[in-house]
Structure 1
Amino acid sequence: MKIQGLPDNGAVDRELHHKFAVAIRAAQLGIWEWDLRTDEFSYSDRAKEIFGFHTDEVVTRQRIIEVLHPDDHRVAREQAASSLDPSLKQRTPYRYRIFRAGSRELRWIHAFGEPIFEVLEGKHVAVRFIGTLQDITDEVQAHERLADQEARLRLAIEASGIAIWEVNLADQTITHSPELNRLCGFPPDARPTLEEFRSRYAPGERERMEQLGAEARLRGETKLDTEIHHLWPDGTEKWLSLKAQIPPGESGYGGRVIGVLMDITEQKRQEEYQKLLLTELNHRIKNSFAVTQSVINQTLRGTDVPSETRAKLSARLQAMADAHEIMTGGAWESAALMTVLNRSLETFGECGSGRIIVQAEDIELSPRATLSFSLVLHELLTNAVKYGSLSNSTGTIHVKISHESLNLLRFTWIEKGGPRTAGTAHEGFGTRLIERVFGSEFEATIRRTLDPEGLSFIMEVPLSRLQP
């Protein structure tokens, strides 16, 4: 195989020539030669392909200048001059841009050239200039994309106030950055040790962090997500969110930990303030229910309202009060359906009695759904105690809560072993309350019948209407 630009005077070893050709093809290099005595250029087929020249095209100086990027003319001239200067003979690789012939597509070229000198009239004169070309456009573009990503990441880090860190587990060293120093109370240009960073932990935090790490390793986990309480020497109190990951190594755990820190001090203060407000709100709601209860009792005293009606009204108010207390525990954001159910059973003394069998898939309820479910459970339990399965010592209730599909919750209440009865369930105020609350507001489908064994109550509700 004859390679353009490679001298073949019979002295080139054939095997070496073959290896050279393989290397050239593998690297996708183009070879060029410039005869300085005749100003003629010789380009290999690959070199012509890189420049967009036809394979049978004669390459001239003017043709090369036409495709060379205008801004890189000076670079090319200076590089050639320093390479051809006998006192310099520079052999440094260089880059320039071209607009490929025909398509005018911008490409980046990595070039290397080496001059060949001869002694003419007692002086060293460059007679030939040979070298290689390589299209590195993909590499340059990948580098530019990476640089853009790093710039965007840096802007995001600066805007969000987070700090990226890395700990070398072998020598217990930590990378430094102005952001990390700022979050931990050190000067921006300081280089504190890992031990000095840990000295900012509040009492007990170091032991807690070590325990969290040990437990994560025992579980085979490589990620950690927690909050760290800092207490600086000047008394400043900080809360930081920490997210860390141990990149796996050959033994399963690598020799470093990488992660981010974010200042959440203000968020924690707001949470504490919100808890204080919720506690005060809960206290006032309890007082309001107590006052309402007292006003009702005072109003009904001396009237002909049956005592049973008074008891029902008081019990319903208590059910609402219990629901509000549950929601306070969930910061008025949500409450678990099982929590609501268990609280209702406790109120009637049936939690753990064995007479109510519960099979449930728990879900989180919105505050409004929590209150409504509390009232429904109160009505069902009240009726069961007075007329149904809980009115004797042998009856049972089977409660099943399931997600019939991803979009529907099915609540089933089946009473057995109570007084034998049949027909249609009486529609009192409690029944109307259930149908008004769930049938109208929550778009539920309700089926309520009295079988000989007892009440059968089935309610299907769209999950989207129940969840927060």
Structure 2
Amino acid sequence: MDDSSFLNEGGDHLDLLLATSEIGVWELDAATGDAVRNLRHDQIFGHDALLDRWSAEIFLTYVFEEDRERVGELLRSALKDGEPWAFEARIRRADGVDRWISARGVPRLAPSGEVSKLIGHVIDITELKQNEDRLKLLSRELNHRVSNTFTIMNSMIRHASKKASTVEQFAETLMERLGALARSNRVLVAEEAKRSSLREILTMEMEAFAGWQKRISINGTTDFWFSGEASEALAMIFHELLTNAVKHGALSISSGHVAIDISTGPDRQVRIDWVETGGPALPRDRRQGIGSTILQNAMRGEGSVTLDFAPEGLICRIVVNDGFQREVPEAPLAPSTLSVEEPPAVDKSFSGVRVMVVEDDPIIGLDLSDILKARGATVMGPFTTVATALVALREGPDVALLDLNLGQETTDDVARQLSKLSIPFVVLSGQNDFSSLDEAFATAPLISKPFREQDLLNGLARFV
């Protein structure tokens, strides 16, 4: 095809471009106020076919009333002063649907210097605006949640320090509660069904207390779905109940048992009764600590938690109001047993084992080094960049501990090189979604932050 043929067919190419880019084009006559436009233009405003007539006045009737004066003034300025006309506004289409548009026009001048017409385009930006709104909402929620989390941590430190008699006891209590916070956060960012399912909340907390399931019975359906706030509250409540039962209650001796009875009440309330039997007798005089405070205030006015410290065992009734519930997903979760088996704890010396640590956070890196050195390992690192980690591989580590993200870079290249050299590694990450990992990570154990020391040691011990 020669150049002239291509130019002659330019109109077809332009039509194709406009059609595939979803752009409405228009040309407004300054003298008459009437406009010509393409079909996509009128479709953006809710019409299946071109209208017989379009004008600036007709256009403004579609604009939301609170935006109308601003957009009209911009149009008048463009026609009077020859300024470009650009804006974003909300419209209500002919079919009653509310949308966002972005429009831009530029003036064309007559020989006299006056504006003779405006030509421009309009596009539907509703999806973009919705994404912006979601990001703003997520940002506000993240700021709120981070602030609350630090406040909760401060409270935990103050209360734990009052009751702990040794530094070790204080550290253990604090780490357990921080782990509960982390697990509740994973519930909030999980898939919608899992995030809201009572079954998944119970499963998640029982994973942290694996080994006790045979002495816990669950009666009634767990197919209830709750809001994110309720999921977080219930995760904290069950953590406190399990912790108390293991340390002081029914699960602290071999004859004890816990029954979790689930039922529904009036106004779509969900009732969860935690009943301990067979444990040690509870003292009559009890001092209320942070555990009881968490239990009694966790539902934030959308339910209640009542505690009965009966001599034969603790009875806790949790009531969740309708306002904290969600509709059942269209594809409900398949039945599950809520049973979790804990792998046996590995008590193994790492003496003589060279462990390469790839972690960019200095505090976490120091903690990992201390844990490994206490077991006799020789620690290489911590390495905080991919480049330094790749160089360190020349020294031949026996096993590696690998964070997924180092600042703005990922450790995919390190994982591939480790796999190529047949050096096993364990992944340690604060990331919640591992579905998009490179195939080099396929066989590596995945441990989520914050981690339990025993989980970390178990993951490494399988390779040494």
TM range (shorter): 0.3 to 0.5
Normalising by the residue count of structure 2, what TM-score does the alignment of the two structures yield?
A: 0.35
Rg comparison, structure with higher value: 1
Normalising by the residue count of structure 1, what TM-score does the alignment of the two structures yield?
A: 0.35
Relative to its length, the structure with more strand (as a share) is 1
